[in-house]
Each structure stands twice: as structure tokens, then as C-alpha cells.
Structure 1
Amino acid sequence: MKAWMEEYGRGHKMLREAIEGISEEELRFKPAPDHWSIHQIIIHVTDSEILSTHRMRKVLAENEPLLYSFDQDQWVDELRYDVLDREQHLQLFESLRLSMQPILDHLTEEQAERGGVYPDGLRFTFKQLLEYRVQHIRGHLAQIERVRDAYRATQS
């Protein structure tokens, strides 16, 4: 659990490093019409973090709360991620992660096992939700690298 908490705390730095020095053209490049640009990935990661921070807090504060997901592709389209400010979202992501740090620093084993339930009946503990947040960033860092590879292939 300690390793998950440490990596969770480095998530913002990992995102920043992944896009450091990338041109705006590359940040906006979409490998296919139905694929996300790096810009859109960053906005998505932040929107996902907003909801996930809420879920984790609910699990710690309420008894077996109901948890919700969102339609990520619909959010990309309906919220017009292309016109949103990437830097503001990176700052918001960092703030959300920092806001969880004191909670993580004082988390007990009992709290880590508290859970919440999704409408389909699946139950997740706080520990599982935290692990998923770490895996989520890892997955999107790999996605950013794939988009970068696709962009470089078009430049050759």
C-alpha cells in the first residue's frame, strides 16, 4: 500500500515529465479520428481525477456509499476538451492529488478496507480505488507514448 501511495503522490510530476518539451502540434495530434490527442488525454486524466477523488473521499466518509462512473468519450466531445486549458487542468490535477496527501498520510488499515458500491453491484475498497488511480496514470502515460510514436511516424 505504501508503494501505491508514493506513486500516487508522484502522478503529477510523471504527467509533466511525459509532455515536457512537446510542441503544440504534437500535443494536438490525433493518431486517428477516434483516438485522443495528448492534450485530450491530459484533460481526461484531470476529469477522471475529480470524480475519483470524490469516490475515495466518499468511501472514507460514508458507510458503503454508492459510486458512479462517467462516459469518458462523451465528456471529451460534450465538454469540448479541445478548447479547454491544458495548464489549468494540470494545475487542478496537482491540487487534487495534494489535497489527498494528508488523508493518505493518516490512513489506517481499517480505512483502507472501507468500500463503496457501483450501481452494477461491484464493490471496491479504498485501497483498490487508490491502486486504480496509479494504474490509470500508468495507462495514460503509455497512451501518451503511443501517440508520440504515431506523431513521429508521420514526420519521417
Structure 2
Amino acid sequence: MEALREEYHRGYTMLREAIQGLSEEELRFKPAPDKWSIHQILIHVTDSEILSTHRLKKVLAEDEPLLISFDQNAWVKQLDYDSLDREQHLLLFHMLRASMRPILDQLTDEQAERVGVYPDAERFTFLQLLEFRVQHVRDHLAQIQRVRDAYRQSQG
């Protein structure tokens, strides 16, 4: 659990390191019309974090609460991620993760096993939801690297 908690807390730093030194052109590059730019990925990671922080807290505070998902592609398009402030979103991600530190530092084994339920009746423990948050950042770090590689290939 300690390693999971530590990686969760390092998420912001890991995202910052992944984009360090990139130009605005690299950050806005889309490898294909239906693929996300690094800029869009970062906005998405933050929007997902907003909702997921809410889910994590609901599971700890309420008895078997209903958990709701979101249509990530609709958010990218309908909220015009290209026009949103990337730095503002990265700072928000940082603050959301930091706000969870005291909760995670005090987490008991019993709390880690509390359950939330999705509308399709799928059930997840707090620990599973926390693991998803860590994996979500890992997945998007890999996606950022793929976009960086595609940008380099497009230039050469």
C-alpha cells in the first residue's frame, strides 16, 4: 500500500517530467485527427482526477455509493480542450492529489475495502479505485511518450 500511495502522490511530478522542455508545437501536435495532443491529454487527466477524487471520497464517506463515469471524448470536444489553460489544469491536478494526502496517510485497512457501485452493478473497493488512479497516470504517461515519438517522426 505504501508504494501505491507514494506513486499516487508523485503523479504530478511524473506528468511535469514527461513534458519538460517540450515546445508549444510539440504539446499541441496530434498524431492523427482522431488522436489527442499532449495538451488535451493533460486536460483530460485533470478532468478525470476531479471526478475520481469525488468517487474516492464518496466511497470513504458513504455506504456503497453510486459512482458515475463520464464520456471522455465528449468532454474533449464539447469543452474545447484546445482552448483551456494547461497550466491551470496541471496545478488543479496537483492540488487534488495533495488534498488526498492526509486522507491516504490515515487510511485504515477497513477503509481500503469500502465499496462503491457503478450503475451496471459493478463494484469496486477504495483500494481498487486508487489503483486505477495510479494506472491512469501511467497509461497517459505512455500515451504522452507515443505522441512525442510521433512528433519526432513527423519532423524527420
CA positional deviation for 1:19: 0.3
Distance 1:120 1:12 in 2: 31
Q: What residue is the counterpart of 1:78 in the other structure?
A: 78
Q: What residue is the counterpart of 1:143 in the other structure?
A: 143
The amino acid across from 2:125 in the alignment is: T
Q: For the aligned residues, what is the CA RMSD?
A: 0.3
CA deviations on 1:99-142 (whole Å, 9 max, x unpaired) are 00000010000000001000001000000000000000000000
1:68 is paired with a residue whose SS is coil
2:10 is paired with a residue whose SS is helix
| Identity in percent | 76
1:116 is paired with a residue whose SS is strand
The amino acid across from 1:76 in the alignment is: V
2:151 is paired with a residue whose SS is helix
2:82 is paired with a residue whose SS is helix
Counterparts in 2 of 1:4-83, with a 5 A limit? 4-83=4-83
Q: What residue is the counterpart of 1:95 in the other structure?
A: 95
Distance 1:9 1:152 in 2: 30
TM-score (normalizing by structure 2): 1.00
Q: What residue is the counterpart of 1:108 in the other structure?
A: 108
CA deviations on 1:40-95 (whole Å, 9 max, x unpaired) are 00000000000000000000000000000000000000000000000000000000
Q: What residue is the counterpart of 1:133 in the other structure?
A: 133
CA positional deviation for 1:37: 0.1
Give runs of ≥4 in structure 1 deviating > 6 Å.
none
TM-score (normalizing by structure 1): 1.00
Question: Structure 2: any 5+ residue segments left out of the alignment?
Answer: none
Distance 1:4 1:105 in 2: 11
CA positional deviation for 1:3: 1.0
- Report how many aligned residue pairs link the two structures: 156
Distance 1:46 1:68 in 2: 16
Distance 1:54 1:111 in 2: 16
